[in-house]
Amino acid sequence: MTRQNITVRSLHEMKSAGEKISVLTSYDAGFTRLIEEAGIEVLLVGDSLGMVVQGQESTLPVTLDEMVYHTRNVARARESALLVADMPFMSYRSPALALESAGRLMKEGGAQMVKLEGGSVQLETVRRLSSQGIPVCGHLGLLPQSVHKLGGYRVLGREQGDASRIREDARLLQEAGADLLVLECVPGQLAAQITRELSVPVIGIGAGAACDGQVLVLYDMLGMNPHPPRFVKNFLASGRTIQEALRAYVEAVKGGEFPAGEHSFK
């Protein structure tokens, strides 16, 4: 049965109805077809491809050309899920450059929304993109593109000052026009508070079960990362096929079974 296209409005309606949103990364047409069959709502072409596809140590080397290429591959196989593409490192260092980069991801890559990292420093950029009709997903908490500045991959928001800043940044991003927000590696209690305070959907990754939805890196949830983060669950375990693992992930997110306590932070 053909599924109705998922849109920004669809996601907002899901939040209002209390229906969980399932999100998964994808980087090529083959996996995208399987992910679509599993019933995912949002496909994210993440710059995580630098690590899981290219074998890089971080996301920083990924170029805009590479993001356009992988987004286009996913777009060819996309049927109904909303297609979001990461804006890679240094591709949005000014509002004007961000507009050009986002335009390429949408016109050449087929993206329907772009994602960028950062809070108050990105407000002018979010406003510029939103004013031009480009849907924007914000990203707060652990920011992989700032890994060297942060001193490594770690949980953010445990200190009161950090938590207050993340909450305020979330509010400001929404006011600037962001349509969606990803929270990565923040305490579950903080993520729950932000989810309640915002009208836009909040997607968690290592941010507890109270978020409006969950996202994982495809290769992580298939057990292909030899050193997975704590918030990851291997859905390919127990002798499942890839198709069964993808369906199990969607069902676990939508049923509220994932993430469990062991996949969250305090």
- Which pair of structure tokens corresponds to residue 160? 């009161």
DSSP-assigned beta bridge partners for residue 21: 213
184 carries an active-site annotation = yes
User: CA 50 to CA 149: how far, in whole Å?
Assistant: 19
Q: Which of these is catalytic: 184, 244, 257, 262? A: 184
CB burial of residue 228 (10 Å; 0-12, 13-18, 19+): middle
Residues 6+ apart with CB under 8 A from 266: 187, 188, 189
Residues 6+ apart with CB under 8 A from 220: 52, 228, 229, 232
User: CA 13 to CA 171: how far, in whole Å?
Assistant: 19
Unique residue bearing structure tokens 């939103």: 130
Tally DSSP H helices, then E strands, for the chain.
11, 8
User: CA 90 to CA 15: how far, in whole Å?
Assistant: 32
**Closest residue by Cα to residue 235 from 40, 8, 5, 57:** 40
Q: What is the DSSP string of 84-97?
A: EEEPPTTSSSSHHH
DSSP-assigned beta bridge partners for residue 215: 23
Cα atoms in the Cβ-side hemisphere of radius 13 Å centred on 134: 28
DSSP-assigned beta bridge partners for residue 203: 182, 213
Please list the active-site residues: 184
